Amino acid sequence: MSLSGRTRVAGVVGQPIAHSMSPVLHNAWIAQAGLDAVYVPFAIANGRFAAFVEGLRGGSVAGVNVTLPFKGEALAAADQASARATAAQAANVLVFRADGTLFADNTDGLGLLAAFAEQSPGFDPRAGAVTLLGAGGGARGAAAAFAQAGCPDIRIVNRTKAKAQAIADSLGGAISAYGLDEVSAAFRGIQALVNATSAGLADGAALDVPLEATPDACVVMDMVYKPLITPFLAQARALGRPTVDGLAMLIGQAVPSFEAFYGQPPPAQVDVRALAITTLGL
Ligand code: ATR
């Protein structure tokens, strides 16, 4: 990498941030494209996010990706937001414009749809019902993305049903809420099932849902990418269900982020998936 007085700086903001894959992906693309650019991690203490972004207004930094726990604050800090960021109530991209204004976007939904397009090419969101497990930020973003893509029937299942209902009420349209006790009904006739809960993460309790109640052709996706094949995906595979992994979504959100920061699509020649798998030890 060679840096100069014109180097375009972008990065990722979160807490913790040390294990973020984004610097690995973006810097590999920067190197391949030969850009005078760099992508760095910013570890910001809780309570300091708003001050951090205020200081970057005016274009000293081209933009930042935003990850947990700052996605809501990122949207709140912006002067303008895309419709998809507003619907998700979260931003994972902030662009610092030269005029001092701050634009918020959300590419997580694009990443989700890109993951399906790549790993389950026959999947069409318009063709039938999808079910989401969980009612946190990930599920809300996924519901907004599927709704935007024309999905006619989006079912959100959550342990705390009221949280699923709150998403359905605020996004409106074809979204309905289910409790865990209604999960079999929520699986009936669906073409895809997405795990957007934190269950199954290294320190979380395993998610216990009757995957065998999904139709044989139901595509099963997990937003968690470490491990690459989560216990949830392993169970789906054992039942013969086609699967989509969370790493494809991570890369899928990074592609439009790169375009937002560096003004061009990432070079296709870099195998960022293989790079991520090696870096993460997956
Ligand atoms: P996000 O990262 O998407 O913002 P979050 O806000 O931490 O995630 O939400 C985590 C989700 O995982 C919630 O929907 C939570 O259910 P509750 O709303 O009932 O708390 C869900 N979740 C976490 N552990 C779970 C478990 N063991 N079984 C079922 N759901 C679980």
Give domain status of residue 57, yes or no. Answer: yes
| pLDDT tens track for 219-273 | 999 999 989 999 999 999 999 999 999 999 999 999 999 999 999 999 999 999 9
Q: Is 138 in the pocket of ligand 1 (CB under 6 A)?
A: yes
Give 149: exposed, middle or buried? Use CB within 10 Å, 0-12, 13-18, 19+: middle
Could you tell me the CATH number of the domain that includes residue 125? 3.40.50.720
Give domain status of residue 188, yes or no. Answer: yes
| pLDDT tens track for 118-156 | 999 999 999 999 999 999 999 999 999 999 999 999 999
Give domain status of residue 67, yes or no. Answer: yes
Q: For residue 139, which atom of ligand 1 is closest to its CA?
A: 3
Give domain status of residue 1, yes or no. Answer: no
Statement to judge: residues 84 and 194 lie in one domain? no
The reported pLDDT for the residue numbered 166 is 97
Statement to judge: residues 270 and 237 lie in one domain? no
The reported pLDDT for the residue numbered 282 is 82
Give domain status of residue 249, yes or no. Answer: no
Whole-number Å distance between alpha carbons of 214 and 267? 38
Statement to judge: residues 102 and 56 lie in one domain? yes
The reported pLDDT for the residue numbered 129 is 98
Does the pLDDT of residue 202 top 70, yes or no? Answer: no
| Coil, strand or helix at 196 | coil
| pLDDT tens track for 91-126 | 999 999 999 999 999 999 999 999 999 999 999 999
Which among 26, 8, 13 is positioned nearest to 253, based on CA atoms?
26
Statement to judge: residues 137 and 209 lie in one domain? yes
Domain that holds residue 267: 8-107+254-280
Give domain status of residue 132, yes or no. Answer: yes
Give domain status of residue 181, yes or no. Answer: yes
pTM of this structure:
0.95
Statement to judge: residues 230 and 142 lie in one domain? yes
How distant, in Å, are the alpha carbons of 29, 81, 123, 269 from that of 196?
28, 24, 19, 30
Q: Residue 214, CB half-sphere, CA atoms under 13 Å: how many?
A: 26
Q: Is 197 in the pocket of ligand 1 (CB under 6 A)?
A: yes
The reported pLDDT for the residue numbered 271 is 96
Q: Residue 204 C-alpha to ligand 1 middle, in angstroms?
A: 10
| pLDDT tens track for 151-186 | 999 999 999 999 999 999 999 989 999 999 999 999
The reported pLDDT for the residue numbered 203 is 57
Provide the number of structural domains found in the chain: 2
The reported pLDDT for the residue numbered 198 is 81
Statement to judge: residues 132 and 232 lie in one domain? yes
Statement to judge: residues 129 and 236 lie in one domain? yes
Whole-number Å distance between alpha carbons of 80 and 96? 11
Protein residue with least CA distance to atom 7, ligand 1? 136
Could you tell me the CATH number of the domain that includes residue 101? 3.40.50.10860
Quote the mean pLDDT of the chain: 95
Whole-number Å distance between alpha carbons of 282 and 279? 8
Mean pLDDT across the stretch 203-230?
A: 90
Statement to judge: residues 202 and 166 lie in one domain? yes
Mean pLDDT across the stretch 24-42?
A: 97
Q: Residue 6 C-alpha to ligand 1 middle, in angstroms?
A: 43
Statement to judge: residues 46 and 102 lie in one domain? yes
